[in-house]
Amino acid sequence: MIASIIASGLAIGAVYALIGITYNTMYSASRVMSFTAGQFGMLGGVFGALFMTSTGLPAAASFVLTVAACALAGVVTEIVAVRRVLHKLEQHLYVLSTLALAQMMAQLTAIGYGTEPKPFPRIFGIGRGDPLDEKFWLPLLACGAIIIALELLYRHSLLGFAFRAIAEDQFASRALGLPEAGLRVASFAIAGAIGGAAGFAGGQLLLAFFGNGGLLTFYGFIPVAIGGVGNNRGALAGGLALGLFQQAANFVFGGVFASVAVFTAFIVILLLAPNGIFGAVRTRRV
């Protein structure tokens, strides 16, 4: 029983961590917390199941197409819900624009794919119903691979240096001639790809269901708040901790009381550390 709680907690926590990293990736280049982050994860599960079951494509090809489709959804988010809002005086209108787009994504998916949860195909067929089942270690594998890929991108490539510069100071980066708009589009595309990979890897746990978007949007934001906005390592730690706590609460309390326990713990953490456990208070020299 304990092994199952740990395995499922780490697996779902890895999905939450990846959605948190999706939030961070979009925020770093735009200072926008886009509520489409969870919908990218939902689309990853739906597109993955659709490509493998309806078209009969192998898992590898389905994964590539799913990630590409979700990256395109990220670009659409930047163009439709973010770009024009950033030029307005009330920039925080992105809360409404991204939320509206997220609802449109969910409703269009429900219309096109159906409103009932559908099983996600097994990929490798390794393990079945035990802690070594692929549905438990696939999200962890995807999370580790994405974390490493992002570290390599940010620290060992010109594109990564540009991302870090614009995340540090958008005004200075713009003055130096960095293409802010292009970098913002690229960051949303990468964020969409990360969210899609999270939904694909966690599809066997979450199923292919249009309602997963709202769940992932909320639970994916908690690692960001716990770990500190923009801190991917904090999001990883926060996501894994959230997953373990949620599964333990399900076992101890069950049902709706488990969600109450998660919300209570979340509020307590925010009261004790408003900037996140791994976050730092932002200072600006004037």
CATH topology of domain 2-272: ABC transporter involved in vitamin B12 uptake, BtuC (1.10.3470)
- Residue 286's pLDDT is 43
pLDDT digits (tens, 9 = 90+) for 190-249: 999 999 999 999 999 999 999 999 999 999 999 998 888 888 999 999 999 999 999 998
What DSSP state is assigned to residue 79?
I
Q: For the purposes of burial, counting CB atoms within 10 Å of the CB of 2, is it exposed (0-12), middle (13-18) or buried (19 or more)?
A: exposed
Give the pLDDT of residue 125.
Answer: 82
**How far is residue 2 from each of residues 173, 244, 265, measured CA to CA in Å?**
50, 11, 21
pTM (predicted TM-score) = 0.91
Yes or no: say if 196 and 40 are a contact pair by the CB < 8 Å rule: yes
Q: What is the pLDDT of residue 54?
A: 86
pLDDT on residue 223: 92
pLDDT for 214 equals 92
Query: Quick one: tokens of 214?
Result: 């709202």
Instruction: Supply the pLDDT for residue 284.
Output: 47
Domain coordinates of the chain in residue numbers?
2-272
Which phi and psi angles does 118 have, rounded to 5°? -125, 145
> Per this entry, what is the length of the chain?
286
- The residue among 37, 18, 15, 21 whose CA lies nearest residue 244 is 15
- Give the pLDDT confidence score for residue 129 in this predicted structure: 66
Where the chain has pLDDT below 50, the residues are: 283-286
CA distance 271 to 265: 10
Residue pointed to by tokens 């090809």: 61
The continuous run of DSSP H or E covering 20 comes out as helix 2-30
